[in-house]
Amino acid sequence: MVIYIISDGKKGHLSQTRGLAEALLERARAAKPDAEHSCHEVSVLGKTWLSKLFYKGKDLDLPRPDLILCAGHSTHLAALSLARHMRCLCMVCMRPSLPARFFDLCIMPRHDVPEGGVPGSRVFLTNGAINCIKPCPDEPKKETLVLIGGPSKEFKWEAEHVLNQLTTIASQCSRAIVLTTSRRTPQDFVQDVVAACPSIKVEPVDQTGPTWVADHLATAHEVWVTQDSVSMVYEALSSGAPVGIIEMLRKGDPHKDKPSRVVRGLNMLIADGGATTFTEWAKTHSIARPKAVLNEAGRTADYILTTFPGLLQ
């Protein structure tokens, strides 16, 4: 199986397509160990919409693909054009800006389906966005990991509100606690944590490498994630660790304003028992362990290979 990933260079989009491609190739190698299986990333960053509309990959020196994956609105035209030219399948890992019928399959987080809407026959729903994180059961689980986001479209940033929760968590935790920030975290928050919670080891995002989060998720006994960081919540769940939600204040009036798709998705996750809010944790000082490890890349790959068996012929 040969897979092309049409890339816009954005980390979140690549995490989705790479995670799915890895799961597909893992299964392809198991089913046909003697065949050649590979994945190639094709960047369309900087291309005009017109060049994407008629993109045929003439600049590529790669084996012909069986499947093209894309994520990010700016990749859709190039992916569809190249798939039509190469006569292969084309799948999108998001709710597309173009009609779903243009793609062979649309792989969408379930919170992207409009409330009351019914997904079409070319839609496969996932619990959150697919990612590259895999559980590491053989690694010793030695620490509590804390992933901090920042102000967002949905949530206000109030440092004291977050610090109060961190202080309580630290007072009840017997394991080492390691905390990292994100690009959205206010710079002075690191000093606030050091002053308020000296037992927490802080490693700011600008001092971490590209595999830092994945490496620490592999050894985490439990993970705390701020409520705004939905993608990190699903990455944490994919590691197999219990996940706690550090609560943040919603913008607007939560009693009057309709929750966004992001808030709705997180609420569904909490209602299903996939994660535990700080408020619930405070009652028992324990995070509910998920009923099953989240493996959306593998589940999606199995569906694709069952629905499109020609990919393995």
2-132+296-312 matches 143-284 in fold: yes
pLDDT of residue 190: 95
pLDDT of residue 288: 87
pLDDT of residue 50: 96
Check pLDDT > 70 for residue 115.
no
For 248, the token pair is 């943040």
- CATH fold of 2-132+296-312: Rossmann fold (3.40.50)
pLDDT of residue 117: 60
pLDDT of residue 29: 97
What is the architecture, at CATH level 2, of domain 143-284?
A: 3-Layer(aba) Sandwich (3.40)
How large is the average pLDDT for residues 21-33? Answer: 97
User: Quick one: what percent of the chain has pLDDT higher than 90?
Assistant: 79
**Domain extents in the chain:** 2-132+296-312, 143-284
Check pLDDT > 70 for residue 116.
no
pTM confidence score:
0.89
pLDDT of residue 313: 82
